[in-house]
Structure 1
């Protein structure tokens, strides 16, 4: 564990339009973020770490402004170390493609500030504006596209929104290879479950998620799958693998929520974002990136 950690970049929250204008900002923040005490917010304000979009400082007696955005710096008394490391796959003047290991968060969240992919790369590449163009679960390893300049972010985000980028994953699951099907086109409606960090996949005539899944090899009791998500819902591939009866190896959320336990770096979720293909919206060049996939022989050792 390290000492108190303060984020280098500010986070923000928008004050809802319906908020009572007589409410102090310090009270709004204490109510909004219940894990941070009112006294801690007061201390951050006194240190100049809470401000409006125009960088005007917010004081202890400042009233809320509905629909305004409040900026603040996240702090943690301690942050867990992650003894796993990313590596660069490609870099040019506009974007970076990096490999994110299992267990490393993509962005600051919860008990993570500095030990995430984006902040590690901002430091190593000296690029404070670096931002991921898409999501990748902490439990999942693989390729991530990150944009270098603020003014280009929307161009790369649009690649994903308009489905003009192809992402291919690999997954491992228990299976003996005896199956009527070797490929599936899955669609379902994915919604929040209970607890809220688990999702629920249900068959419906009004789906919001689509995936293509192909079983490409089986060795003894383990099967290797190639997955192509057409949409990008939270936990989509984990849910769709479970839907076809092949839950991903070492998945602690699906099909059942397993009890909390210390991180076991030797047993990661067997899901890998292996390939990324797209035409760059700025230079119009075609790019194809990949990393080594799972080796069934190695997995059986």
Structure 2
């Protein structure tokens, strides 16, 4: 893990042995995986210092050097803060992971909408004295709960976007599905496209986008004719888990859009765990999101089994 600390608009990194010998060019492009356009911007705007003087981007760094990067200067507030208590699972100077409740949009779907989790995170940043530039890296459906990752500045957002695309951010879900899942584990590989007969529904379609869901049976409840499964995604299609399990003949409890019964008040889907390598410090991050439904939807469950 790389040591770093915030100093106003700047973030200072103490160069350890694993980064010694690398140039700033290599640090941004190869170690951090920063986009060329943003790397060029930091270089041209002189937003990087080494040992408090203007950096030479092609000079090797030495162990003990202090690299200061202006991540936070001149950031405009892009999201209107709205009062909300957010359940923070992890936070540092660059990223924040929060536990999303049900009945809440991840982000505004219309310009005037402000009652979303994104607005709530902006409020959290505001009241804790931070720059309120924030952007979601992925999303959850309105009635899906659990861990969501947000970025606090454009560079880390761009790196995380690339990590998500390259499947370097692992998202593990738990779901209650109808019926008895026969296989202890399996993979659903079925393309997903829009349902032309319904504005919001998706369906398995030969002409849809490639979609892969892996799953593992946690426990079967025969008396209630339902199964608790954990699943993780290789792709991130809209409603992917809901569509795939409905396609298998095991729709999620409460998911009436895809054939589930209405025995619970929402689709029984929860983003229980988020795992990734920190894009800048390279620390291993693992966040577990407890279920918070009232009344309870999921049975008592030991999250260490995920």
TM-score of the two chains, using structure 2 as the length reference: 0.62
Distance 1:95 1:297, change over 3 A: closer
Alignment of 1:65-144 (within 5 A): 86-110=86-110, 113-126=113-126, 127-144=131-148
Match of 1:171 in 2: 175
Preserved contact between residue 146 and residue 290 of structure 2 (Cα < 8 Å): no
The CA RMSD over aligned residues, in Å, is 3.1
> Could you say which residue in structure 2 is the equivalent of 1:288?
286
Q: CA deviation at 1:207?
A: 6.0
Partner of 1:273: 271
Q: 1:297 to 1:286 in 2, by over 3 A?
A: closer
Written as runs of structure 1 = structure 2, the 5 A alignment for 1:17-36 is none
Query: Unpaired segments of 5 or more residues in structure 2?
Result: 1-77, 292-296, 302-306
**Residue-pair matches, total:** 211
CA distance in 2, matches of 1:134, 1:218: 30
Give the match for residue 147 of structure 1.
Answer: 151
Matched residue SS, 2:191? strand
- 1:48: which partner in 2? none
1:105 and 1:112 in contact (8 A); partners too: no
How far residue 122 of structure 1 moved from its aligned partner, in angstroms, is: 0.3
CA distance in 2, matches of 1:111, 1:205: 32
Q: Distance in 1 between matches of 2:166 and 2:300?
A: 38
CA separation of 1:206/1:247 partners in 2, compared to 1, >3 Å: closer, same or farther?
Answer: closer
Q: Deviation of residue 121 (structure 1)?
A: 1.2
Aligned twin of 1:156 = 160
The equivalent of 1:191 in structure 2 is: 193
Contact 1:102 1:269 in 2 (8 A): no
2:251 matched residue in structure 1: 247
Report Cα offsets for 1:160-208 as digits up to 9, x if no partner: 1011111100001222x4x542222111111111223111113x59860
Measured after TM superposition, the shift of residue 120 of structure 1 is: 1.0
d(CA) in 1 for partners of 2:266, 2:116: 17
